[in-house]
Structure 1
Amino acid sequence: MALISLKDVQLRFGDEPLFAGIDLHIQSGDRLVLLGRNGVGKSTLLRLIAGRIEPDSGAAAISNEVRVALLSQEDETGFVGTALEYCLEAANPPAISEVEAQKFLTRLGMQADEGFATLSGGGRRRVMLAAALAAEPEVLLLDEPTNHLDIDTAIWLEGYLQREAATLLMITHDRAFAKAVANRVAELDRGELFSFDCGYEEFLRRRDSQLESEQQQRAAFDRKLAAEEAWLRRGVKARRTRDEGRVRALLKMREEFRQRRNRLGSVNLKAEDAGRSGKLVAEVSNLSFTYPDSQEPDRPLIHGLSTTIMRGDKVGIVGPNGAGKTTLIRLLLGELTPDAGHVRTGTNLQPLYFDQMRSQLDPDRTVVENLSGGDDQLIVGGKPKHVNAYLQDFLFNPERARNPVKILSGGERNRLLLAKLFAQPSNLLILDEPTNDLDMETLDLLEDMLLQYPGTVLLVSHDREFLDNVVTDCLVFTPDGDIHEFVGGYSDWRQRVAAGLPGGTSAGTAAGGARSAGSTGNSPTSSHGDDSRSDSSTAAAGSRPTRRERKLSYKEARELESLPERIAGLEQRIEELHTAMADPEFYRQEGDQVAQLTGELQDCEEQLEAAFHRWEELDQLPQ
């Protein structure tokens, strides 16, 4: 018998159906990962299963006396009391022992007597996770459980869920976590739920196979539709009785094609290039720093750090929570002044900083106001662009663009911050946990964009697969307080340490890591010279496993499928602009209006040329 059953569940927010009659049955032993684009209702579905909201119609049933615990994405800022008191009061029914609650709080790096309301957003999330785990429920519902966890703690959580969580439904952007934990997959797409009785990796293989089949079917459909449209344009008397059926079939095909156009597109991620920086990006020499209000003023958070970052480096910064990763970023940006040592930055640097707390966004202002101050246009790549057109590249339709940021999902807020940053030219990207809450497809696109980015990238992330695929070097803050430089991805470093080999060149020490409760104890011994950064990144990358076979990927297949429509739209707009400019009255308009439309024509022609080039490039790849 299923522990949880959803039958024909429907739910509407406004005019659009969020769930259009979905069915889901969760049996004991299922560890299901729920996938889907940001904003499609994944978090809402978890809250519905937990009984926090009711469906408009259909049935959501939980077996009698089954205990359910939910880690919600919503930040519970109103609770007054300690972290331990939160855990004890959050239980429903209240059956958590203090010993169990303290055990999980300690394991997640939290103090039981800390005031809940005084904690950072990440600290509150870890307390909420501790409360859910300590409840020992029959069904555990987790919404982005690895957010605000360091990598070692995420690995510990993987093992704990594999051993102890009999039944689990989770939302996660962490692909390594999903691969390790899930034995079922469900995907939410435009109100429908599709279930797969397999793990995450097998799901990816099945999805690629299904995509291939769909591509062939759609190609045949498109050829037939084009032929029928040509038949109609040739002036056949289609109103004759024997042709009416053919016309009705054509109208039906048009509607089917329109429905395909209305499907969710892909995020168009592109960072504006500010040109080459100087060869040296940053030189850090014997850097030490202690916060003025530190309880251990004689123990610097960062001590004696020396490293050099060169143009084109893609450096991962990893380590336990509290080790000093974000502090290092703020020192590099000049937001903090070191107690000793110095940071020398290179020439012609134009940095962009993605702050994991998204402090650059005003939650009370709308999406458009956050992006452009409320103006209809913004400058992208040196050219004016309508703000709604730019936002559609990041999957915000005009209606969503008028909403305040505070009602957006976590992933939508991250997309908005990326949109805000990428409108500005840069040659140095500093990204502090950019993958939090992003759906996996957008995460893939961000990964590819960073690989093609011509500038320098500094990346703080707990996402192991993302780090492995993007970075060429790592600065590792270890649990025993050392800081190591290593050429290669994070998993390469772990494998080397696990094999008892030196974990890279010692670059300094960090006090924060030694206090982290998320440590696994796999601390490398300090070594010198075995993996010098003087080795070229290219040589290091060449010795690593190939990231993926060069064949048509899932997102590239989606892109290839959408290009004919995009090309047709650009050709139509270019024709409209040429027609307008052929009218003598056109040049009697205001000069700004003429310049705007002339610039739009040039932009459309450049986009058309790029689209044809991309179509040829993708069409040559094997499927």
Structure 2
Amino acid sequence: MSLIKFDELCVSFGTRALLDHVNLQLEAGERVALVGLNGAGKSTLLKVVSGYQQPDSGVYWKDPAIRIAELSQMLPAADERMVRDVVMAGISEVVALREQYDVLVQRHDASSMAELERLQHELESREGWHLEQRVDTVLDRLSLPGDKRMAELSGGWRRRAALGAALVQNPDLLLLDEPTNHLDIETIEWLEEQILNFRGGVLFISHDRALVDRLATRIIELDRGTLTSFPGNYSRYLEQKEALLQEEARQNAEFDKKLAQEERWIRQGIKARRTRNEGRVRALKRMRDERSQRRERQGGARFNLEEAVKSGKLVVELEHVSHGYEGQPIIRDLTLAIQRGDRVGLIGPNGAGKSTLLKILLGELQPESGKVRMGTKLEVAYFDQLRGQLDPERSIIDNVSGGRESIEINGQNRHIISYLQDFLFSPERARTPVKALSGGECNRVLLARLFSQPANLLVLDEPTNDLDIETLELLEEILLNYEGTLLLVSHDRRFLDNVVTSTLAFEGEGRVAEYVGGYQDWLRQRPAAKRAEKAAAKETSGVESAAEPKSDKTKATRKLSYKLQRELDELPKLMEEAEDTLSALQAETSAADFYSQDHAHVSVRLQALHDQEQRVEQLMERWVELEEMQAGG
């Protein structure tokens, strides 16, 4: 069943078409991710769907009985409202109907009987007789403390309250605009589960690639005013998008070549002949018009880091460092050494102490106990998630340049306007006050400012908020090529996996543990750590008598069943064969002429590549699982 439809719908901002005769149909049960560059018009499209903005032309149809609810990217205020009242505000119209009905019932006025009947019918159709039960159900489902004030809650819990206000409406279509901004990883994963369990349709904007990959049943891309639909998740979208871009480039090249030939012909014709083929002349005019109307793909951001001289080999060393606030431990007995070139990710719930640890690592805060030894020749550049380094009243140019007309990047002088164009700011936009910018633009200003400073220690505190996916991927590439040291706080799981070499995880009660690799590596290593903790707790609790010898079973490897042992023995060969097949498919699909083949054949081979990647991953996960079972897990 269709929930909404666009038919040749147009929305313009000034002379620029954000939605250019677009068509869209969204079915019940679909979870559709809307992707595109910052400023492409994604939020505008959501506003049209929600009814906050009318299209300039075209038709927007929605099912007359549909209920649409929206979760804004803005967090609810940390004010004195009770959480129950915030959730109840999601059905404020129904609450108002109930209040009107109660007032009329009190009057016992015969003249109001018709109005009472109308209100009764309206309340029945909108399930208005069970308001309290609906609110209680949502509070229970989201584990929300209804009797607490919003001011007492963290950002993640205020986001839960906002989701409660949306879900209490029992919507058929849920609109989400960057729902993961400012949420920690634990809350993001909780939010994913809520959306997966939601039975209605979902249309969402997100730069969190892991979330898009897990949730989306289809992706629609808004690019140069045009909507294109891609079935499947984010990984499939990337494959299909690359094929489309290559085909577009090929067609444009063929068109431009033919246009150049026709331009040469008409110039030669003027000199050689008095008469010309008028049909061919008209065709050339049409080609010129078509070329002038071609909307070129907006370039992605381009930027490089200004690297300072190398720091000493040791960047910072902590020995038995502990710190806390008001008697609560945040960091307990942490010993750690960070070397030049390390890329360290910090993960943990909001308020766990990540920013406190950063301050200790940078020498800005003395711990309550333990030693901190700083390295030599450190030059630090700091990205602040709160954007405190920006003056909202000053222009982008002034915030980045500090009054200079040019800046030096890795030995080369760049004019400030040219430099800012690398961050997608036109000369006109570069003169705009920061207070008029979107969240994504503010983050690009911060990156422009940050990367213009020589640094061998880069500290990034939530740099990914509001950035579009293409800019995120470019930032990843730059950080991977950066030869200095990186300290990164992020809740973007894919970003962590792609960038960091080790992870510091805040695991509660002051425990900060170091793991090799990124977020997925931490997930794989964490169960072993939990088993070690349980074993240690057993030893200290005196469960086993000191006089009684420990069972060898705790140390010996576990004997697998014949069937499982045979499966484990065969897995290395299967994994090798699967990886060889994957390598062959990767070589085939990377060939220069691959996308010039029949479209159906290309699709089949890309699907085979995707399936083989899944196969290799499944074999690896099974091998790890059996190895852990054999080790006594």
Normalised by the size of structure 1, how large is the TM-score? 0.73
- Distance of 1:430 and 1:20 partners within structure 2: 41
From 416, 427, 431, the equivalent of 1:402 is 431
Q: Deviations over 1:173-211 (max 9, x none)?
A: 111111111101111112222223333222222112222
Q: Secondary structure at the match of 2:341?
A: coil
Matching residue of 2:446? 417
1:459 equivalent to 2:488? Answer yes
1:156 maps to which of 190, 197, 200: 190
3-state SS in 1 of match to 2:312 = coil
Partner residue of 2:302 out of 255, 268, 273: 268
CA distance in 2, matches of 1:264, 1:412: 15
Aligned partner of 2:179 in structure 1 is 145
Which of residues 495, 518, 524 in structure 2 aligns to 1:495? 524
Alignment-mate amino acid for residue 30 of structure 1: E
Q: How does 1:12-23 map to 2 (within 5 A)?
A: 12-23=12-23
Contact 1:129 1:145 in 2 (8 A): no
Name which of 216, 219, 232 aligns with 1:185: 219
Contact kept in structure 2, 1:38 and 1:409, CA below 8 Å: no
Q: Deviations over 1:524-577 (max 9, x none)?
A: xxxxxxxxxxxxxxxxxxxxx9999988999x99xxxxxxxxxxxxxxxxxxxx
Offset of 1:352 from its aligned partner?
A: 1.2
Q: Number of paired residues?
A: 509
Distance 1:476 1:185 in 2: 33
Shift, 1:9, TM fit: 2.7
Larger proportion of helix: 2
- Of 303, 312, 319, 1:278 maps to 312
Shift of 1:220: 3.4
User: Against the structure 1 CA distance between its residues 427 and 233, is the aligned structure 2 distance closer, same or farther, given a 3 Å change threshold?
Assistant: farther
1:69 Cα deviation after fit:
1.6
- State the distance in 1 between where 2:238 and 2:324 align: 46
Q: Does 1:113 align with 2:119?
A: no
- The residue that corresponds to 2:201 in the other structure is 167
State which drifts further: 122-131 or 331-340. Answer: 122-131
1:173 alignment partner, SS class: coil
1:309 maps onto 2:315 in alignment: no
- DSSP-derived class of the 1:157 partner: helix
The 3 A distance-change label for structure 1 pair 430 and 76 is: same
Match of 1:450 among 459, 462, 479: 479
Match runs of 1:38-437 below 5 Å: 38-74=38-74, 77=77, 81-91=81-91, 93-94=93-94, 95=131, 97-103=134-140, 106=143, 113-116=148-151, 124-224=158-258, 237=271, 240-242=274-276, 262-291=296-325, 297-373=326-402, 376-437=405-466
1:267 deviates by 0.6
Residue 240 of structure 1 and its aligned partner are, at CA, apart by: 4.7
Q: Percent identity?
A: 48
Letter of the 1:157 counterpart: L
Q: TM-score, normalised by structure 2?
A: 0.72
**Counterpart of 2:425 in 1: which secondary structure?**
coil
**Which residue identity does 1:113 align to in structure 2?**
K
Distance 1:503 1:239 in 2: 87
Question: 8 Å contact 1:367–1:404 — kept in the other structure?
Answer: yes
Secondary structure in 1 matching 2:310: coil
Q: Output the amino acid matched with 2:304.
A: K
Change (3 A) 1:122 1:373: farther
C-alpha separation in 2, matches of 1:279 and 1:205: 41
Q: What one-letter code is carried by the residue in structure 2 that aligns with 1:304?
A: D
1:318 deviation in Å? Answer: 1.0
Q: Secondary structure at the match of 1:312?
A: coil
Amino acid at match of 1:140: L
User: 3-state SS of the aligned residue for 2:381?
Assistant: strand
Q: Which residue number in structure 1 is paired with residue 603 of structure 2?
A: none
- Distance in 1 of aligned mates of 2:266 and 2:330: 74
Structure-2 residue corresponding to 1:509: none
Structure 2: segments with no counterpart, 5+ residues: 95-130, 534-578, 594-633
CA distance in 2, matches of 1:28, 1:380: 51
Cα 1:268–1:120 shift into 2, 3 Å? farther
How far did 1:112 drift? 5.2
Q: 1:352 to 1:259 in 2, by over 3 A?
A: farther
Shift of 1:114: 3.1
Alignment of 1:462-541 (within 5 A): 462-479=491-508, 481-497=510-526, 500-502=527-529
1:327-369 Cα shifts (integer Å, max 9, x gaps): 2112223333322223322111111111122222233433223
